Structure 1
Amino acid sequence: MTHPSSSPRHVCILGAGIVGLATAWRLQRDGHTVTVIDSAHSGAGASAANGAQLSYSYVQPLADPSIWRQLPKLLLANDSPLKLRLRMDPHQWAWGLSFLAACRASVSRDTTAQLLHLAAQSRLAFDTLRAETAMDADHSTTGKLVLYPTEASFAAARHQMALQRVLGSEQHALSPAECVAIEPALSHRTSHFHGAVYTPSESAADCLKVCQALEQLLRARGVRFLLDTPVTGLVRRGDRVVEARTPAGAVHADAFVMALGTGSRRLAAALGLRLPVYPLKGYSITLDIQDGADATSAPAVNVTDAGRKIVFARIGQRLRVAGMAELVGEDRRISSDRIDALVSATRDMFPRATRFENVHPWAGLRPATPKGLPVLGRLPAGPANLLFNTGHGALGFTLAFGSAEHIAAALRPQVRPVAAGLAACSA
């Protein structure tokens, strides 16, 4: 349902990933004139080949008390799923210290509650979009199984599940045998995990396909796109941004939305604003499901291996396998060791799902805040007409449409929230 704004404006959205495009969709429906600018094509960044899981009801903030006992491994082990490469970078150190300060039970509980609320808004908005447009995005709602290798990790998961149940999530703690009843392709793995949490309502979809479909829909509705066009700077006069500078010329607008992922920090810094976002590098591979694969070979349900921190998502006739979180700066190189680890994990989990002939490797930078909450709205002391929509970490696809609702609300004349309310500007 469209909610016309009482004061339609020209809004310039910086970024054509899933977050920027979801925002463009919502604002165009409010009656705003919209321009989208990006240095690449739609969905080219962290949206291109992410984990594909839509985790609306089961979230586990990265900033968790368990991080403290894992620190030696994170710093020293080459095969750790969370890797920290210390650099001569004051921003990395400041972000890391803020992250460790957020690894407290009280902070994790608060973050969980806020993420679940935002995810519920996002699910509703994305469901509405799909119902209205019938876009082809390999969407499925088959649920998610998170597998835990030890009794201790399973106990911690049940504690998190109890917290989320109070907040409205429907989940079940299952034995390995019960998992196989839901996902037969796990039948050979029952001795490798102690138990699992099953969330029946969880979904998966191809984020890149969603981005491409949104671009087509938005162009048909009159939205202007400047792709392969980097934003080289923003011009501020007093309390307002008046233009975005690009090689194609200046773009003037009444309001600007910063949805450039990790690139948002650079533009914010040029305006004297501190944005607590650091890139978390992640990897994925995409494999074709083998012809004739039956229910005991290829998974239909989304699966997360909590021990290795690797996710498996069925998107049509492909299997997306994603994982790792590296704090290594703006390094987009694809590590062969990380890709080999994803291939090895897939061979262990689902050896008959694919022939492993064509492995499509990918690496991307996910914009993360120390607490794990996105930055939504104005920054303190920032221009009144510059809104931020970034810092979603590994939940960009999950939270994109809910975040767009917050930006739309912020652009209504009676609402001018500052980002520190929901997000992580205080980190």
Structure 2
Amino acid sequence: MQIAVLGAGVIGLTSAYYLNRAGHQVIVIERHGEVATETSFGNGGQLSYSYVAPLAGPGVLSKLPAWLIRRDSPVRFRPSVSREQWLWCLKFVFACTQRRSNLTTRELLSLSFASRALMHQLLRDEPTLDFDFQHSGKLVLHRDAAAMQAAINLLNFQRSLGCEQEALSAEECVALEPALAHVRERIVGGIHTRSEDTADCHRFSKGLEAILRARGVRFAMNTCIDALEVAKGGHIVARSSDGVVEADHVVVAAGASAAQLLQPLGLHVPVYPLKGYSLTYPLGPQAVAPTLSVTDFARKVVYARLGNRLRVAGMADLDGYSLKPDPSRVAALRAEAAALFPQVVADDVDAAEWTGLRPATPQGAPVIGPTRYPNLWLNIGHGALGFTLASGSAALLTGWIDGKPDPSLARLFSLAE
């Protein structure tokens, strides 16, 4: 079959990869001149297979008032007249329960474990891919005893679902990652997950593009989809500035813009952008930088070593679709990096800045699978876990299109209408 994939970020490219491997003719349509120029360009670099608990959790609502009034808070909300924004927020509030958080965590772990196995298989199948991949392991730092105890409780729950994690004291955290020695007095402990990886999502995406082009996948770059229209028989056609895209099936992998693209069809997907920021610091040969993937839980900032660079990413701003960076948020991220790893940012080392829109659902789980239209498919809403879940999501989608959906996953992520 001829399948059009709308979007050339990591979700669209992995979708194209698995569809091509299944024998389909694929065309990838992208509004920019290069692949992976938006959300997939400068993300956190963590392949966080075992640490997928959603942002919506039982302790979040009590933190929101303090977060909303601080300029350096990890989450910021700018109210607007957008009905879409307020509906998303209302659904987020209702998702902040222990029961919903546990259920979403369970669902995401099932997809992330499948994605981990597929990513490792992809590495074996595609030895030419070079994207700073490392089996680094992940350390989540906690700054107060209550947060650490809550993390231990979550650890016990996740162990029952197959995660391999361990709780460490502050001394054990420093022994594992010596670059944290100077902040020993500021942390109470951490959660270590040996099975986590780090990698450069942009380089991965560019590598996949080269593989796909070599295998006959077509790319229509600098091509905007103006509308999705209903044709005879209830089938959907994608219309661009160049006319109708010839395809038997259409896969929407358009990230944060998916909801606006689908709304005229009467498909109201709960996807809204959370603006995030990242900094990428060059590392000299003597840099005292982490080798582990590190997450500062209280600050919601992640650190990933990508070859001779350190990626620092964080912030979640709920303030619409604008990609314009907020200098105060960039400054706050720089301050966090300087406080945790001062040797990396010493002497005014310049860092590459990035701003992107993470396409998030209120509950934290992506939307993957069919719609009421027989040839329209979705692979959207991965939030901060797009790179982590990309392979599993693409394989699930491909099986579904081929009429062989994974029975353990298909019912979990499909669109409820």
TM-score interval for Structure 1 and Structure 2 normalised by the shorter chain: over 0.9
Q: In the alignment, is the contact (CA less than 8 A) between 2:370 and 2:414 conserved in 1?
A: no
**Residue 150 of structure 2: which of 150, 153, 156 is its match?**
156
TM-superposed CA distance for 1:339, in Å, is 1.2
Counterpart in 2 of 1:265? 259
Give the SS at the match of 2:73: coil
Matches within 5 A, 1:252-331: 252-293=246-287, 297-331=288-322
Residue 375 of structure 1 aligns with an amino acid whose one-letter code is: V
Give the SS at the match of 2:162: coil
TM-superposed CA distance for 1:414, in Å, is 5.4
Counterpart in 2 of 1:5? none
Counterpart in 2 of 1:3? none
d(CA) in 1 for partners of 2:406 and 2:150? 39
Higher mean Cα deviation, 404-413 or 82-91? 404-413
Give the SS at the match of 2:262: helix
Counterpart in 2 of 1:6? none
d(CA) in 2 for partners of 1:239 and 1:107? 38
**1:396-417 deviation line (CA, Å, top 9, x unaligned):** 0000000001111111135599
Give the SS at the match of 1:285: strand
TM-superposed CA distance for 1:242, in Å, is 4.4
TM-superposed CA distance for 1:267, in Å, is 1.3
TM-superposed CA distance for 1:162, in Å, is 0.7
Counterpart in 2 of 1:375? 367
Q: Residues 416, 394 of structure 1: CA spacing in aligned structure 2 closer, same or farther, 3 A cutoff?
A: closer
TM-score normalized with structure 2 length:
0.96
User: In the alignment, does 2:91 pair up with 1:98?
Assistant: yes
Q: In the alignment, is the contact (CA less than 8 A) between 1:281 and 1:324 conserved in 2?
A: yes
d(CA) in 2 for partners of 1:48 and 1:187? 31
Counterpart in 2 of 1:76? 69
Residue 337 of structure 1 aligns with an amino acid whose one-letter code is: S
Aligned length in residues: 413
Counterpart in 1 of 2:228? 234
d(CA) in 2 for partners of 1:72 and 1:231? 39
d(CA) in 1 for partners of 2:412 and 2:263? 21
Counterpart in 2 of 1:4? none
**1:67-117 deviation line (CA, Å, top 9, x unaligned):** 121121133222211011111011111110001001000100010011111
Q: Residues 111, 291 of structure 1: CA spacing in aligned structure 2 closer, same or farther, 3 A cutoff?
A: same
**Residue 343 of structure 1: which of 307, 330, 334 is its match?**
334
d(CA) in 2 for partners of 1:164 and 1:416? 22
TM-superposed CA distance for 1:391, in Å, is 0.3
Higher mean Cα deviation, 125-134 or 185-194? 125-134
TM-superposed CA distance for 1:12, in Å, is 0.5
Give the SS at the match of 2:174: helix
TM-score normalized with structure 1 length:
0.94
Counterpart in 1 of 2:377? 387
**1:281-310 deviation line (CA, Å, top 9, x unaligned):** 1000001012322xxx11100100111110
TM-superposed CA distance for 1:425, in Å, is 4.2
Identity %: 43
Q: In the alignment, is the contact (CA less than 8 A) between 1:92 and 1:278 conserved in 2?
A: yes
Q: Residues 370, 60 of structure 1: CA spacing in aligned structure 2 closer, same or farther, 3 A cutoff?
A: same
Higher mean Cα deviation, 275-284 or 333-342? 333-342
Higher mean Cα deviation, 266-275 or 278-287? 266-275
User: In the alignment, does 2:190 pair up with 1:196?
Assistant: yes
Moved over 6 A (4+): none
Ranges in structure 2 where 5+ consecutive residues have no aligned partner: none
Residue 394 of structure 1 aligns with an amino acid whose one-letter code is: A
Matches within 5 A, 1:406-421: 406-413=396-403, 421=411
TM-superposed CA distance for 1:335, in Å, is 1.3
Q: Residues 406, 235 of structure 1: CA spacing in aligned structure 2 closer, same or farther, 3 A cutoff?
A: same
Residue 389 of structure 2 aligns with an amino acid whose one-letter code is: L
Counterpart in 2 of 1:63? 56
**1:361-414 deviation line (CA, Å, top 9, x unaligned):** 1110000011100000123xx311101000000000000000001111111135
Counterpart in 2 of 1:398? 388
User: In the alignment, does 2:108 pair up with 1:115?
Assistant: yes
Counterpart in 2 of 1:181? 175
TM-superposed CA distance for 1:424, in Å, is 7.2
Ranges in structure 1 where 5+ consecutive residues have no aligned partner: 1-8
Higher mean Cα deviation, 151-160 or 241-250? 241-250
d(CA) in 1 for partners of 2:388 and 2:373? 28
Q: In the alignment, is the contact (CA less than 8 A) between 1:239 and 1:383 conserved in 2?
A: no
d(CA) in 2 for partners of 1:166 and 1:267? 39
Q: In the alignment, is the contact (CA less than 8 A) between 1:369 and 1:424 conserved in 2?
A: no
Higher mean Cα deviation, 354-363 or 204-213? 354-363
Residue 326 of structure 2 aligns with an amino acid whose one-letter code is: S
d(CA) in 2 for partners of 1:420 and 1:262? 22
Residue 314 of structure 1 aligns with an amino acid whose one-letter code is: R
Give the SS at the match of 1:138: coil
d(CA) in 2 for partners of 1:239 and 1:138? 47
Give the SS at the match of 1:49: coil
Q: Residues 402, 239 of structure 1: CA spacing in aligned structure 2 closer, same or farther, 3 A cutoff?
A: farther
Q: In the alignment, is the contact (CA less than 8 A) between 1:240 and 1:386 conserved in 2?
A: no
**1:308-347 deviation line (CA, Å, top 9, x unaligned):** 1100000000000000001001021111111111111111
Q: In the alignment, is the contact (CA less than 8 A) between 2:223 and 2:240 conserved in 1?
A: yes
Q: In the alignment, is the contact (CA less than 8 A) between 1:64 and 1:105 conserved in 2?
A: yes
d(CA) in 2 for partners of 1:47 and 1:96? 24
d(CA) in 1 for partners of 2:70 and 2:107? 33
**1:154-173 deviation line (CA, Å, top 9, x unaligned):** 01111111111000000010
**Residue 14 of structure 1: which of 6, 10, 22 is its match?**
6
- Output the aligned Cα RMSD: 1.6
d(CA) in 1 for partners of 2:96 and 2:410? 19
